[in-house]
Chain A
Amino acid sequence: MTSLVIAEHDNKNLKDATAKTVAAAAQVSSPVHVLVAGSDCASVAEAASKLSGVEKVLLADDPAYAKMIAEPMEKLILSVAGNYDAILAPATTNGKNYMPRVAAKLDVPQISEILKVVSADTFERPIYAGNAIATVQAGAGKKIITVRTTAFKAGEANGSASIEKASAAGDPGISKFVGEELSKSERPELTSAKIVISGGRGMQSGDNFHLLDKIADKLHAAVGASRAAVDAGFVPNDYQVGQTGKVVAPELYIAVGISGAIQHLAGMKDSKVIAAINKDEEAPIFQVADFGLVADLFKAIPEMEAELTKLGY
């Protein structure tokens, strides 16, 4: 049987989340097809066709899908759903938005944010903000799944799938895109960056985040923040790493002036290496950090920057 992955993209570039979702899909049911829904997005279909394990790419190129608005996406996915026994989307804000609609219309439960495919019908998923892991088994019927992409590794881009046009399924006309405000940054996105450096309440002000920017520029890292720093108004909400923000699992996570509240740990504890800088040696962040430095961050961060410069970064 075949599985279908809904591609995450911005009409130009295919997002890494797609490749990771394909990796998860291949464990559920193969071959894997990818549905690229967007507007003027041929380059995305091209990129998807190269993902390893993908047999076919369906390209639905229509203005109705330009912003992946949930209502037209639901109709489109339902129009092709009959051919598949599993449909997967990355657990991005897009995937979380349209997928439950598809599940409800198919009268099946959705399995949200899987961390692991145990077998074709059994999955691990986090509950209680990752403080517990549930192993759940799906019953008969199609499997509708969203994937926590940080838990899966993308395969090589060495495939050569065929690209087929899919007919647009129409727009129900009950919702429309008005506008968007995306944060502009030269840096990688939080959820796909290999290195993340985050600041907490200890940063004391938004201006002080420039200290982290300097390190981030050297390491090509994304800059994040704890909820405390966001609530204090230092940085906008899309910086937030944690249970109520973004879940990240980079190769290296550097926590600066972050105490390590449960809610923050839920968003970063799956990082490969964790470094923490905090002046309070009792801070809970040190219980999960591989390398801890008890120091005043306003002294430590410039020193760290100098050391990186010395090493040629």
Chain B
Amino acid sequence: MKVLVPVKRVIDYNVKVRVKADQTGVDLANVKMSMNPFDEISVEEAVRLKEKGKASEVVAISIGPAQASETIRTALAMGADRGILVKTDAEVEPLAVAKILKAICEAEQPGLVILGKQAIDDDSNQTGQMLAALLGWPQATFAHKLELGDGKADVEREIDGGLQTVEIKTPAIVTTDLRLNEPRYASLPNIMKAKKKPIDEKAPADYGVDVAPRLKTLKVTEPPKRQAGIKVKTAAELVDKLKEAGALP
């Protein structure tokens, strides 16, 4: 069974983002970029399935600028077999991403597509679900544990208030939550090996998908800032101040 893993190039999660003065977005100039952390978890899960003999091939896909090939290389160094770069300098919204991935799924016929539950830049949390709907496939979002069976998968999901287990028929879509696994670091020999793995280069037009944004971003601003308050000396004083502020019932 083939597993597809879409990976997104985003601002590294350790970087403090700065909103541009002209309010057109956040400053991406000279900022460290990395693979979306949830996507690292997807790659790790797919590679583990291959190591367990449950997946035959792991294909990493990225939709983005030329540099997104570095993100694919990271996935290849972690153990993915080959890559597909759908090159575009446009900012591609989740719906368009899902349409491109649908076309790739139709060509590649995977048994499973594992995606991060959300990208840490636009925080949309949509692509996996949209892809599932477009394909008419079942989905298990926010996966905490994945057991692949014969023609099905049992997935434990993180939901408000606890965990839920669903059984889905394959082919299916799984989106990853933080606790699914701990992604490995690629070893130097594997990084070297990854340089020889093939990456196919495509464009959105090859899949007949129009990536023009459907939402218009009017502005991007800083969130309201909180002011530091006062320091109190004792726990009793803290309780008194909270009482005065009307914060206690």
Contact = CB atoms under 8 A, between A and B. Distances in A.
Q: Considering residues A286, A290, A304, which has the most beta carbons from chain B within 10 angstroms of its beta carbon?
A: A290
Interface stretch (B47-55, B106-114, B134-142, B201-209): B134-142
A100 B94 CA distance: 9
A274 interface: yes
Contacts of B223: 126, 130-133, 269
The CB with the most chain A CB atoms within 10 A, among B19, B125, B232, is that of B125
A272 B235 contact: no
Contacts, number: 254
A304 B133 contact: no
Interface in B192-249: 214-223, 226, 228-243, 245, 247-249
A274 to B, nearest CB: 7
Interface string A124-146: 00111111111111110000000
A291 B216 contact: no
B29 to A, nearest CB: 16
A279 interface: no
B247 A96 contact: no
Contacts of B168: 174-175
A64 to B, nearest CB: 13
Interface in B125-183: 125-134, 136-142, 154, 157-169, 172, 178-179
Chain A contact patch, size range? 35 or more
Contacts of A122: 218
A251 interface: yes
Nearest to B219: A135
Given A291-B238, A292-B229, A180 B165 contact: yes
A178 B228 CA distance: 47
A112 B162 CA distance: 22
A176 interface: yes
A253 B228 CA distance: 14
Interface centre among B164, B226, B236 (most CB of A within 10 A): B164
B215 A132 contact: no
Nearest to A297: B235
Main secondary structure of the interface of B (DSSP, over half): mixed
B84 interface: no
> Which secondary structure characterizes the binding site on chain A?
mixed
B121 A291 contact: no
B166 A103 contact: no
B239 A93 contact: no
A291 B231 CA distance: 6
A307 B218 contact: no
Contact of B164 (A177, A237, A273, A277): A177
Contacts of B94: 100, 109-110
B149 to A, nearest CB: 12
B5 to A, nearest CB: 19
Nearest to B134: A104
A288 B162 contact: no
A13 B154 CA distance: 29
B89 interface: no
A194 B242 CA distance: 14
Contacts of A251: 247
Interface string B27-62: 000000000000000000000000000000000000
A300 interface: yes
Given A100-B133, A289-B228, 14 more contacts: A70-B141, A103-B95, A111-B215, A128-B121, A130-B223, A133-B222, A134-B217, A134-B219, A137-B216, A175-B168, A175-B169, A181-B164, A269-B226, A292-B232
